[in-house]
Copies of this chain bind each other. A is one copy, B any other.
Amino acid sequence: MDGGQRHRVPLLTDAARRRADRARQIADLLRRQVMERHFDSGHLPLETALAREFGTSRNTIRDALDLIREEGLIDRCPGVGTTVAGEKYPHGLHRLLGLAETLREHGEVANEVRTMGLIRPPAAVSARLRLPAGEPVVYVERLRRLNGLPLSLDLTYLVRELGEPLFQADLTRNDIFVLLERIAGQPLGTAELTVEAVNADAHTAAVLDAARGAALLMVERLAHLSDGRPVDLEFIRFRGDRITMSGHLRRTGDAPASPGPAGPAGEEDR
């Protein structure tokens, strides 16, 4: 663009837009700041200061704060102001990592094994694990907590010879990934995953100590040993207010990028 074209396009004014649209726009920016612990003290600035920073009215700021309060990110209290409420934990889309590995710096992951046993899997499971029909698999259901707070409900199907030794293992403190690698005597290789957003049904909400209908990040992940054999099929429901997944994409080629010159340092596990 040459300099002559500057200022041809007029500045957009607040007046031209609905307040709800402006509030959403500001909420997205504040959400990010809260998640990145931009507010060191845990206190957000006063409404008047935010209104100035975002060039909008206090009413719009109030609406924006209401939006992220509904997401459980902040609390608002007369006399106290606006404070950061919940913490969202980062789960990398960069590498195949177990939850305890990923969240090591954030606290202690403890797993409650709700169900564990051998099952004759439905065809849908056999096919994905490339097993003959009727071949039993080990099924494990775990409620996973970080620092005591429910984070995810994980349903896991494992090929039998790697799953059975887990009956003697400490599943409370260890990621299944780490145990599988020890049992298999080889590292895991790749995993395919899908990520969706679903509303929590009543029973799942109760298990996760969340409101009915709460947004969940639903992850399905099929992990392979490094020799290519699929061994671990998981269906994971993360509480949406406690987990953020992040990664990098590359425009060309199939393989996503490693952080390039543009990638902030140390983002690997963000």
Binding site for B on A (CB under 8 A): 1, 5, 8-12, 16-18, 20-21, 24-26, 28-29, 32-33, 38, 53-55, 67, 70-71, 88, 93-96, 114-120, 122-125, 136, 138-139, 141, 155, 160-161, 164-165, 167, 177, 187-199, 201, 203-204, 213-218, 220-221, 224, 226, 228-230, 235, 238, 240, 243-264, 267-268
Whether A215 touches B201, Cβ cut-off 8 Å, given contacts A11-B136, A95-B251, A254-B95, is no
Among B8, B20, B25, B229, point to the contact of A155 (Cβ < 8 A): B25
Q: A24-B204, A141-B21, A229-B262 are in contact. Are A217 and B190 (CB under 8 A)?
A: no
Q: For residue A198, which residues in chain B have a CB less than 8 angstroms away from its CB?
A: 71, 197, 215, 240
Instruction: Name the residue on B nearest A188 (C-beta).
Output: B251
The distance in angstroms between the C-alpha atoms of A190 and B94, with both chains bound, is: 13
Bound-state Cα–Cα, A252 to B100, Å:
16
- Separation of A252 and B188 alpha carbons in the complex (Å): 8
Q: Are B192 and A118 in contact (CB under 8 A)?
A: no
A262 touches B115 (CB 8 A): no
Bound together, the chains give a CA A120 to CA B9 distance in angstroms of: 13
Q: How far is the CB of A28 from chain B (nearest CB, A)?
A: 4
Q: Is the CB of B8 within 8 A of A164?
A: yes
Contact A195 B246 (CB under 8 A): yes
Who on chain B is nearest to A9 by CB?
B118
Q: How far is the CB of A49 from chain B (nearest CB, A)?
A: 12
A1-B165, A235-B28 are known contacts. Are A247 and B193 too (CB-CB below 8 A)?
A: yes
